[in-house]
Chain A
Amino acid sequence: MVETSTAPEAVLRTHDGRPLKAALARASRRARVRAFMLVVPLLAFILFTFVVPIGQMLFRSVNNPQFSSNMPELSAWFSANPKATPDEAAYAALASDLVAAAKNRTIGAAGTRINYDVAGTRSLFTATGRMAAKLAPPWQAALLAQNPGWGRDDLWAAMRAASRPITASFYQAAADRKLDASGQFVRADPESRIYVTLFARTFAIAAVIMGLCLVLGFPVAHLLATLPMAKANLLMILVLLPFWTSLLVRTTAWMVLLQGQGVINDLLVALGIIGEDGRLALIYNQTGTIIAMTHILLPFMILPLYSVMKTIPPSYARAARSLGATSWTTFRRIYLPQTVPGIGAGGLLVFILAVGYYITPALVGGATGTLISNQIAFHMEKSLNWSLAAALATMLLAAVLVLYWLYDRLIGIDNMKLG
C-alpha cells in the first residue's frame, strides 16, 4: 500500500513529505485560530454584556410565568377547557392553587400578574390566600362567599390570558390596549392612554433636537474645518471641553441658568426686557429638555461633520465660483452634497441617543418634557413590572432599527462617515 501511494509525484510536498496544500491549509488555520483567540475576550464581553441581556429582555417581554407557574392546576384547567365558562372544577383548581401558593408565599406573584390587567385584584389573591386554609367545598360558593370579586368576568379573562406564560399582553399594554371582560384586547380608557402619546412625543422631541443640533453644529464644524490650525485647535477644545464634562454637571448647570429665579431670567428682568411677573418658564417643561439635550448632544453632530468637511478640498468651491456660480448655488450644489455623509452620521447619532435619553429629561423635563425612557425606568424601579418595561424597551429598539433601515434605504449606510 505504501508503494502505490508514494509512486505518482504529481502532488507538491513539503520537505517532511506532507502535501503542500494540506500544510498550507494547516498553517493558515493556525493563524486564523490565533486571530480568533485574540478577539475571544471581546466576543465574550459583547456576548455577556450585550447579546445576553438584550436577549433576556426580549424574552421577558413575551414570557411571564408569574401566574402559570404559581397556579398550575387552574392553568391546566384553562388549557383543557379553552372556551368554557368557569365551573365547579375551575373553582376547585383555583382554591387548591390558592392554598398551595399561600403556603409557598408565591401568591403575591400570581396576584401581581393579574393586577397588571385588572387593577385592584392583587389584594383579592393575598386576602383570600390568608383565609385559604379555611375554604371547603363547594368551592365556587365558598370563594364567592369569601369575596364576590372572584366571580368577575374580566378577572377570569385575565387569568385565562395569563395561564400561558408566553403572552402578547405586555405589548398590548405598551400600545395602550387592555383586556376586556370577553378576553379581547380593546383600546384602554382615555384617562389611562399614555404610551402611544409618549412614543410620539419622544420621536418628535428627538427630531427637533437633531434639527437644532444640525443648524447649530453645521457652521461650527465648517469653521473648525476651514480656520487656520491654531485657531481651529482652540475652537476644537471649546467643543470638546463640555463633551468631556460629566452629563450631570452640565444638566445641573442648565438648571441654574434656566430656572425661574435663574441667571437668564434675572438678566432679562434686570435689562427690563421682561417684568418680574413675566419670568419665562424655560425649564421643567419641553423647552428645558430641548435646550439641555441639544447642548449635550451637539458634539455628536459637530465631530462627524467636521471629519467630513476636513476632507472636502476648497478648490471645488473655488472652481464653482470661477465658473460663475453664486455663493448660495456653490453651497447648495457643491458643498452641501459633499457633507451629506457627515450630516447623516451626525443626525443618526444624535437622534438615536436622544430617543433613549433618560437622566436629562428626568431632571429638567417636568411634566411635558419627559420621554418614554422615563416610563421604562418607572416600570423597572418603582412598579417592578419588568415585562412591561421590557416590552416598551423592545418597541423603542425596534423603532430605532426601522429608522436605521429607512436611513439605509434612503441615503445608504455606506455613505455615512463617523470620523
Chain B
Amino acid sequence: MVSVDADDPATPLKAQVEAGNVTMDVADIETSQAIRMCDEGLLEPIDPALLPAAPDGTLAVDDFLPGALTDCAVASILWTTAVAYDTTKFEGNAPTSIANFFDVANFPGKRGLRKGAKINLEMALMADGVPAADVYATLATPEGVAQAFAKLDTIKGDVVWWEAGAQPPQLLADGEVTMTTAYNGRIFNAIANENKPFKIMWDGQVLDYDLFVVPKGAPNKDAAMQFIAFATDTQRLADQATWISYGPARKSSAAFVGLFKDGKTDMKPHMPSSPENMTNALFNDVVFWADHDIQLNEQFNAWLLK
C-alpha cells in the first residue's frame, strides 16, 4: 500500500490524474474539492448501491445525512468550525452566541480566525443578525459581502490569523487569544487528552464533511470501492468517534456512538451533529464556494492588506 500524506490530498490527486500516473486508490478530501473535482472529471463516480444498508434496513441513500453522498464521493465524517474559548478568561460571563465573538468590548481579548474568506464571512453575517438559512443568499450579493467585511472590520485589530488546524488550540493555550474559531476535533483533543480549560460554543458553527473519493484511473478501483463500502458502514462510522469528536455521516450511526478511548467520556454531546449543538448551525454551501472562492478570497486578501 502506498500512502500519500498531505495536508490537502486534493493537490497531489489533481497532479496525479492530470499526469496520468495515479498511485492513490482512495483519498479523503473536503466537500468543495470533491464536488469541483467530480465536475472536472478527475474522480470515478461511486454507485450508492454498493454501500451497505443500515442495520434496520434503511438504504444507504436515505441513511446518509443530506449532502453526504455525491456523485463521486461518500462522506466519512462530519466536522465543524466553531468558536472555542478559554473558560478561565470568561468566568461568570461565558460567551453564548456568535455575536459575542465579535463583541470585544464585553468579551475582551484577542480573537483567532482562519486566514481565508470561507467561514469567516458566514460567521460575520450570522453575528450581524442574518439567519443561518439566509447567509449564502446574502453573501451572493455585493451588499452582503460588504456587510460581512464591515462586521469583520469591527474586530480586525484584535485578530490573530491562523492557517493550520493545530494552531488554534496552541494560541488558546499560550494565552495569545481568548477566543478562536477552530476545528472541533482539535479542541476536543486539547480538552480530553491535555486537560485544557477550553470549551466549544456551538452557536454559529459551520459544518462540513470529509469524503472518500477514488481518483480517475486508480490502479485498484474495485478494491477501493469495496474499501469505501466497508469503511462507511454504520458501525465503522460510529467507531471512529472513539478516537476524535468528528460526527458520523450516517444517521443510523448516531445510536452506536459510544465512549472515548479513555473509556469514560461519552462522545455523544461532543458530536457537532448532536441536536443540542445544532440550534444555530450552518452547512457549508459548496456550490456557493465553488463559484465565489477565488473572487471572495481575493477580496479578503485585499481587505487584509488595507
Residues of A within 8 A of B (CB): 104-109, 111-112, 115-116, 119-123, 126, 190-194, 197-198, 201, 259-262, 284, 362-363, 366-368, 375, 378, 380-385
Contacting pair B305 A368 (CB below 8 A):
yes
A317 to chain B, nearest CB (A): 48
The interface size of chain B toward A, counting residues with CB under 8 Å, comes to 40
* B298 partner residues in chain A, CB cutoff 8 A: 192, 194
* A109 partner residues in chain B, CB cutoff 8 A: 39-41
Contacting pair B8 A382 (CB below 8 A):
yes
Can you spell out 5 A-B residue pairs with CB atoms less than 8 angstroms apart? A111-B39, A119-B294, A284-B160, A367-B159, A382-B297
Main SS class of interface, A: helix
Residues of B within 8 A of A (CB): 7-8, 10-11, 14, 33, 36-41, 45, 110, 115-116, 140, 159-161, 163, 174-176, 287, 290-299, 301-305
Q: Contacts A194-B305, A366-B160, A368-B305 hold; do A108 and B294 have CB atoms under 8 A apart? A: no
Give complex CA distance A381, B33 in Å: 11
Contacting pair A381 B160 (CB below 8 A):
no
Q: Contacts A119-B294, A192-B298, A194-B298 hold; do A381 and B7 have CB atoms under 8 A apart? A: yes
Give complex CA distance A114, B128 in Å: 33
Contacting pair B8 A121 (CB below 8 A):
no
Contacting pair B304 A122 (CB below 8 A):
no
A65 to chain B, nearest CB (A): 12
* A366 partner residues in chain B, CB cutoff 8 A: 160-161
Give me 19 other A-B pairs in contact (C-beta within 8 A), A111-B39, A122-B290, A381-B7 excluded: A105-B40, A105-B45, A108-B39, A108-B40, A115-B291, A119-B292, A119-B296, A120-B140, A123-B291, A126-B287, A190-B302, A191-B299, A194-B302, A366-B160, A366-B161, A367-B304, A383-B297, A384-B11, A385-B294
* A106 partner residues in chain B, CB cutoff 8 A: 40-41
Contacting pair A384 B41 (CB below 8 A):
no
Contacting pair A383 B40 (CB below 8 A):
no
B154 to chain A, nearest CB (A): 15
Contacting pair A261 B175 (CB below 8 A):
yes
Contacting pair A198 B305 (CB below 8 A):
yes
* A192 partner residues in chain B, CB cutoff 8 A: 295, 298-299, 302
Contacting pair A260 B305 (CB below 8 A):
no
Contacting pair B174 A119 (CB below 8 A):
no
B230 to chain A, nearest CB (A): 26
Contacting pair B302 A120 (CB below 8 A):
no
* A284 partner residues in chain B, CB cutoff 8 A: 160-161
* B36 partner residues in chain A, CB cutoff 8 A: 108, 112, 384
CB-nearest residue of chain A to B303: A191
A205 to chain B, nearest CB (A): 13
* A198 partner residues in chain B, CB cutoff 8 A: 301, 305
Q: Contacts A106-B41, A193-B302 hold; do A362 and B11 have CB atoms under 8 A apart? A: no
CB-nearest residue of chain A to B8: A381
* A116 partner residues in chain B, CB cutoff 8 A: 294
* A108 partner residues in chain B, CB cutoff 8 A: 36-41
B190 to chain A, nearest CB (A): 17
Give complex CA distance A283, B137 in Å: 37
Contacting pair A120 B161 (CB below 8 A):
no
CB-nearest residue of chain A to B6: A381
* B116 partner residues in chain A, CB cutoff 8 A: 382
CB-nearest residue of chain B to A252: B170
Give complex CA distance A382, B9 in Å: 11
CB-nearest residue of chain B to A111: B39
Contacting pair A260 B294 (CB below 8 A):
no
A366 to chain B, nearest CB (A): 5
B178 to chain A, nearest CB (A): 11
B104 to chain A, nearest CB (A): 14
Give complex CA distance A362, B161 in Å: 10
Give complex CA distance A116, B292 in Å: 9
Q: Top 3 A-B pairs ranked by shortest CB distance?
A: A108-B39, A119-B295, A105-B41
Contacting pair A367 B292 (CB below 8 A):
no
Q: Contacts A104-B41, A112-B40, A384-B10 hold; do A367 and B161 have CB atoms under 8 A apart? A: yes
Contacting pair B39 A105 (CB below 8 A):
yes
B278 to chain A, nearest CB (A): 27
CB-nearest residue of chain A to B145: A191
Q: Determine which of A111, A194, A260, A382 lies in contact with B110 in the assembled complex, contact meaning CB atoms within 8 Å.
A: A260
* B33 partner residues in chain A, CB cutoff 8 A: 384
Contacting pair B291 A120 (CB below 8 A):
yes
* A375 partner residues in chain B, CB cutoff 8 A: 301
Give complex CA distance A328, B8 in Å: 57
Give complex CA distance A108, B41 in Å: 8
* B175 partner residues in chain A, CB cutoff 8 A: 260-261
Contacting pair B302 A381 (CB below 8 A):
no
Q: Determine which of A123, A197, A381 lies in contact with B287 in the assembled complex, contact meaning CB atoms within 8 Å.
A: A123
* B39 partner residues in chain A, CB cutoff 8 A: 105, 107-109, 111-112, 126
Give complex CA distance A259, B175 in Å: 9
* A260 partner residues in chain B, CB cutoff 8 A: 110, 175-176
* B14 partner residues in chain A, CB cutoff 8 A: 384
* A382 partner residues in chain B, CB cutoff 8 A: 8, 116, 293, 297
Q: Determine which of B161, B174, B294 lies in contact with A259 in the assembled complex, contact meaning CB atoms within 8 Å.
A: B174
CB-nearest residue of chain A to B7: A381
Q: Determine which of A262, A367, A383 lies in contact with B294 in the assembled complex, contact meaning CB atoms within 8 Å.
A: A383
Give complex CA distance A111, B36 in Å: 10
CB-nearest residue of chain B to A193: B302
CB-nearest residue of chain A to B305: A197
* A197 partner residues in chain B, CB cutoff 8 A: 302, 305
Give complex CA distance A197, B304 in Å: 12
A258 to chain B, nearest CB (A): 11
Contacting pair B11 A380 (CB below 8 A):
yes
* A380 partner residues in chain B, CB cutoff 8 A: 11
* A190 partner residues in chain B, CB cutoff 8 A: 302
* A362 partner residues in chain B, CB cutoff 8 A: 163
* A194 partner residues in chain B, CB cutoff 8 A: 298, 301-302, 305
Give complex CA distance A111, B303 in Å: 27
CB-nearest residue of chain A to B43: A105
Give complex CA distance A115, B288 in Å: 12
Give complex CA distance A120, B36 in Å: 14
Q: Determine which of A107, A121, A191, A367 lies in contact with B291 in the assembled complex, contact meaning CB atoms within 8 Å.
A: A121
Q: Determine which of A105, A123, A191, A378 lies in contact with B290 in the assembled complex, contact meaning CB atoms within 8 Å.
A: A123
Of the listed residues B116, B299, B302, the one surrounded by the most CB atoms of chain A closer than 10 A to its CB is: B302
Of the listed residues B14, B39, B159, the one surrounded by the most CB atoms of chain A closer than 10 A to its CB is: B39
B245 to chain A, nearest CB (A): 25
Give complex CA distance A366, B292 in Å: 23
